[in-house]
Each structure stands twice: as structure tokens, then as C-alpha cells.
Structure 1
């Protein structure tokens, strides 16, 4: 059941949408933009449900024939358009929107089209949609859900009401998972890598891959400290298996050293991300100086910077690992 009360965060956005309904200033076209998993589709669907509600309020009544049809997934005048392909083509836009919108609503006030991953539309598809957006019928409403609205043509953007959804706040995410099946010792770690997205956290919870990478990172840190140069090159080779996810791997490594530094400075504290590994963090921290921890954090940041600049992948990781391994107080800086 789609209701505004169930939506996590985005109170300002919801209030603005409700005010447009109240004052009869609903636009014919919208872009709802933001990172994946923060509620864009839920807001679009709830807005659509409210607009079609026969009670004509600023929230769906959940009882009228329109609300019941919507909740059943069989509303005759609300259409959800999505694709699993790499792009959304012109034929899909022409068949599902451009031609269909010429027919008046079957029963309710509007014909509403919600296009998921709309920023995947080809230029040809956007041009086809533009013709409809420029001269929409009075009953037509199009909602484009995207993660990067800058992929749209400027003419599309200028004719749509742009709604930017910000990442959720940590407190909002914690409230959402308060009663859910989640390891609450892990929630801060999930939040740190979620970008403020509940959807991303759900994927991490369901993914053994996330836990696998973290366990490898923890092992690598211990092996860097205790191993020799041969071990460093072995670690570098293992890290190459995660080339497509290297930013995430390095972020996890950074978080681990950060937690050790925090523990050394103020002991066990609520700002620790890897709460479920607190004993291991305490033991690891005993062997690492502040100087070495600082060098390690800097080395990881340097590696990320070099990789963003398309530096040699293998060399960037080797230099990072060597700098982390260094025991000297002075840090030799290398460049490509």
C-alpha cells in the first residue's frame, strides 16, 4: 500500500507535491532524480495514486475504487514503464506513451506514465517524448525517474518540474531498520557505504560479496603488517580480482584504519564503523603507531586519487601497499 506516511525522509518534497495538489498546480511532466534506492519510485507511485484518488485529497484514501485498483497493480490509467536493456528506445516511448496518451483516460482523472530509469532513454526516444511533453493533453502526466537528470536533453529538463531527492540521513535510515532483520552492530558500516540509500543497504545485507570483500580487507591489513615484500605483491594480485570494485575495496580499507585510529585516540566509542569487529580492532591497534596509521590513510587516499586519474592500476596499488608497510617516520611520496 502506497501512502506518504510510509515514505522515509523527503518530507519537504512530499509537502511540496501535496501543496501542488491542494492548489491545483500539478505539472504535466516531472523529473524525480536522486541516487538509487532512496525512494524515487515510491514517491512517484504514491503521488500518482493520490492524483487518481476519488476523494481528491492531498493523500490517497486507500478505500475508493481507484486506490484499490492501484494497490492491486491493475489501475487502468496509471502506467509503469521500465526496461532491463541498456537503453530505453524510441519504439518503447512511442508505443507506451506517445500513441497511448492520445486516448482519453479509461475511467479516472488522469493518464499517468511513470518511466523508470528514464535517463537510459536514447536521444531518439527523448525527442519522441519531447513532442508529447511540449503539447500534452490536459489529462496527461509524465514522471521521469532518474539517477542522473543531466543525461536528459536540455529541452526535456526545461519543460519538466525537476525534483531532486537528497540522500537519506543516518537517523532516518536507522529508524527504518529499527525493527528489521539486521545486525545492528553493522548498521553504521552499512550506512557509511550506502550513500544515504536504503536500497543499497538492502543489497549489502543480501550480498555475501560485501562480507567477502570486508573479510579479505581485514586479512590483508593484518598480512601487510606481519608479512614481507613477497606477501605485499600477493595481496596486490588478490586486489586485482576486485578491479571493478576497487573504490569500494579501498573505502573499506580506509574505514578499517580509521577505526583503529579512533580506538587508539579515544577507546571504544560510538563512531566506530566496524562495531562487530571491535575486539580485532583493539588487538590490531596495539601494534600500529599513530604515525603509521596516518601514513596508511594517506596512502589509501593517494591511491584513490591516482586511480581516478587513470594511473596504472597495478603500480598504484603496489605503491600504496609499500607506503602502508613502511616503518620509517618520513614518508616518501611517489608520483607517476
Structure 2
């Protein structure tokens, strides 16, 4: 598991956690809010380990019995709330794993830490069941609610928790990590950093993903030739895109980075900051043919497509409209 020194970014949150532990001002409940891959689980695990470390310092020692138990996932006082249904944390999950156990004192440490991952999946009944404990928690209990969407939690839960927002990490830190720790070549590190948009977990996933290269290649082929395509060819392209339905965010982000490159080159004529350097001849050509307004229209259409897909609008229809907008602009 390591220590807080191994965490890339999030220095303000780490400082806050360490200060709370050092001064004995640990709250009963925290919400760690950040997108997938932002580092919520790592921070929560390190927080829990620190609270239960036998050395009593501001970060885990990694050598005591408690730290070794936590690292192996067998600490009796660190409880990860699980759920059988993939998309829901039910009221029964909360009652049996929290309500029925919360009054049992810690087995060996000063704290009993409950970690609820994907807390936004709790049903309203589950949240209300948790709220009863949050209103009058035992002294030794600490709740860590990990979520990608704190707004999905009841206002009454939000008001009883300390909010820790995981913000985007600087690109320079992500690139450095990819190159120095993962030994990723510089050109690939540039690409993964650009697509990760401040999310280290996503950058690591992309660097290790063969599938990502396929998606990127498919998107690039579409973008290079879309302006010459007939409507029937666009329909065929959309049919191929369906293969990447589960990774559609990555696919759309690739298109966004492409047009960011087009816009950047059009405005500055600088090649150094272009991500798709190997496609520079196509980037230059599109920058010459596209207007600033046209590029802006495409970028707005990408945001609209993402919102529609989140709202479960028909996939093929959304992608066809997007492709037509790109072709026309």
C-alpha cells in the first residue's frame, strides 16, 4: 500500500487528513468525491491504515501488525461494505453490514472504519438507514463514503460529512509518473496524459490498454476521411463504433483531442503542442478548411452527445447526428 508520499497529487487532502490525525480531530464521516480513477480507494485505504497504525503517526508505518493486516485486506476493524446487486446498494446491505455491527466495539484498534465504495449506488432507503447511524455514531466509528457523484447523496448525509473533493492532477505530474514509474515511452506518455484529463488512474489504464490503441486507430480513420464520406459510409462507421459502446467516453475524448489539435494548430501554427503529431498533415489540412465557429460547433456537439448517451438516448442516433455535425463543419 505504501504511504501518502506515494500518492500523486491531492496534497491538500493528504495535509488535511494528516492534520486531523495528528491533532486528534478525526470526524465521524467523510465523503471522498472524485471521478473513477482519481485515487479515492487508495486515499481511503491509507486513511484507515493511519487511524489504526500501532505507531500512532500521521501515516501508516507499514510494519506493525495492524498495517500488515490492512495491507492483506484482513483487518477486523476496516470494513468494506459490499453489495450483491451490481448497480445498487440496498437497505439490507446497509442494515446487515453497518446497522447490525456498528455497536460492536473495535476488536483491536481505537477506531472502526467503514468504507462504502460507489456510495452513490445506495438507494434512498439505504441512505436513510445509514443516516440513523450518522446522526448518533459511536465514538470509535469513522465512515468513508467514496463516490463519483456526491449530489446523488441525500442533503442530510452531505451535511453530516466532511467533503473531500479529489481534483484533477497536473499533466506534468501524470506524465512524470508514466515515464519514471511505468517506463512508458515519451510519445505514448504524452498521448495518455492528454486523454486522461487530470486523472492518473485513467492515464495508467490507457497506458496498459491494448484495446485503447484499437479505439484510437478506429477514431483516427474516421476523422481523417469523414469529410469525404457519403451518408451510407457514415452509417457503416457508426455500426463499427457500436463495438466500442462500453468505451464510448474514450472514443469521444479522442475526437475531442483531435479537434483541440486542429484548433491549436489553426490559432498558433505550432506543432510542438499537438498530440496527434503523427497525423500532422491531416491536422494541418483540417485547420485550413475549418472555421473557428465550425470547430466550436463540433466541440459543443461532443458535449451534447455525451449528455445524451448518459441519458440513454438511442446510441446509433446520437452517433449519427454527431458524425453529420462533424462532416458539415
Q: TM-score, normalised by structure 2?
A: 0.85
SS in 2 for 1:112: strand
CA change 1:274–1:133 in 2 (3 A) is same
**Matched ranges for 1:74-223 at <5 A:** 74-83=74-83, 85-179=86-180, 180-223=182-225
Q: TM-score, normalised by structure 1?
A: 0.84
Segments of 5+ residues of structure 2 without an aligned counterpart are none
Q: Which residue of 2 aligns with 1:331?
A: none
Number of residue pairs matched by the alignment: 319
**Matched ranges for 1:1-336 at <5 A:** 1-83=1-83, 85-179=86-180, 180-227=182-229, 231-232=233-234, 234-239=236-241, 248-260=250-262, 262-263=264-265, 265-269=268-272, 271-275=273-277, 277=278, 280-282=279-281, 284-285=282-283, 287-288=285-286, 290-292=288-290, 294=292, 297-304=295-302, 307=305, 308=307, 313=318, 316-317=321-322, 319-324=324-329
My pick for the range that moved more, 124-133 or 232-241, is 232-241
Q: How far does residue 132 in structure 1 lie from its aligned partner after superposition?
A: 1.1
CA change 1:161–1:183 in 2 (3 A) is same
Segments of 5+ residues of structure 1 without an aligned counterpart are 325-336
List per-residue Cα deviations over 1:189-246 (Å, max 9, x = no partner): 3223223212222332343432222212222233235555654554455456656665
SS in 1 for 2:204: helix
The answer to whether the 8 Å contact 1:77/1:111 transfers is yes
SS in 2 for 1:63: coil
CA distance in 1 between counterparts of 2:130 and 2:119 reads 11
CA change 1:321–1:8 in 2 (3 A) is closer
Q: Which of these two proteins has the greater Rg computed from alpha carbons?
A: 1
CA distance in 1 between counterparts of 2:75 and 2:304 reads 52
The answer to whether the 8 Å contact 2:188/2:207 transfers is no
SS in 1 for 2:163: strand
Q: How far does residue 122 in structure 1 lie from its aligned partner after superposition?
A: 1.0
SS in 2 for 1:30: strand
CA distance in 2 between counterparts of 1:135 and 1:78 reads 20
My pick for the range that moved more, 184-193 or 153-162, is 184-193
CA distance in 1 between counterparts of 2:300 and 2:52 reads 53
Root-mean-square deviation (CA, aligned residues, Å) is: 2.7
